[in-house]
Amino acid sequence: MKASSIAMGLAAAGLLGAPSALAQNGDHEAGVPLTPAEAAGAWTVSSNGQDLCVLTLTADHGVKAPRTCSDALPGNPTSWQPTSDGMHLSGAGGKGFPFHRWSNSLFVSHRSSGVDIQLRRGGRAPG
């Protein structure tokens, strides 16, 4: 069977292009920078299936993070900036972490240690 026949069959079944459809959440898709309005609010930091802390991103690119976030995000982030495919958190001493957008409510940072850190929209903001 020719590749073009397979592609036509997949397209007819609605399966061609499914990965990009799966990456979408609302009107946003993976690989799109985060806007300040989208960023504002509480985000849960997790790794290995455990929630570690909740930080708050502000529309003016600030980050409010409790001390409990310092284990997961050394240098405790104080600001964020959009990137071409997500955002970058920056903290004291120039330490920073790129997060790649997987959906409108999930960003992932792949560490050289092999541990992934996730930012997931929601959570109870620190008081």
User: Do 40 and 97 belong to one domain?
Assistant: yes
Backbone angles phi, psi at 69, to 5 degrees: -80, -15
Does residue 126 belong to any structural domain of this protein? Answer: no
User: Do 46 and 2 belong to one domain?
Assistant: no
User: Do 58 and 77 belong to one domain?
Assistant: yes
Range of the domain at 6: 1-27
Q: Which CATH number is 109's domain given? A: 2.40.128.10
pLDDT number for residue 125: 55
**Which range (21-25, 117-121, 123-127) has the least confidence?**
21-25
Does residue 56 belong to any structural domain of this protein? Answer: yes
Is 123 a residue whose pLDDT tops 80? Answer: yes
User: Do 19 and 37 belong to one domain?
Assistant: no
Residue 31 banded pLDDT, cuts 50, 70, 90: low
**Which range (6-20, 21-35, 92-106) has the least confidence?**
6-20
Residue 76 banded pLDDT, cuts 50, 70, 90: confident
User: Do 1 and 39 belong to one domain?
Assistant: no
How far is the CA of 74 from the CAs of 2, 66, 68, 100, in angstroms? 52, 12, 10, 18
How many other C-beta atoms can be found within 10 angstroms of the C-beta atom of residue 54? 21
114 or 98, which is more confident: 98
**What does the pLDDT average to over 50-67?**
93
Does residue 42 belong to any structural domain of this protein? Answer: yes
How many other C-beta atoms can be found within 10 angstroms of the C-beta atom of residue 43? 26
Answer whether 38's CB lies under 8 Å from 32's CB.
Answer: no
Q: What is the number of structural domains in the chain?
A: 2
Is 52 a residue whose pLDDT tops 50? Answer: yes
75 or 40, which is more confident: 40
User: Do 9 and 37 belong to one domain?
Assistant: no
The pTM assigned to this predicted structure is: 0.71
User: Do 40 and 11 belong to one domain?
Assistant: no
Residue 118 banded pLDDT, cuts 50, 70, 90: very high
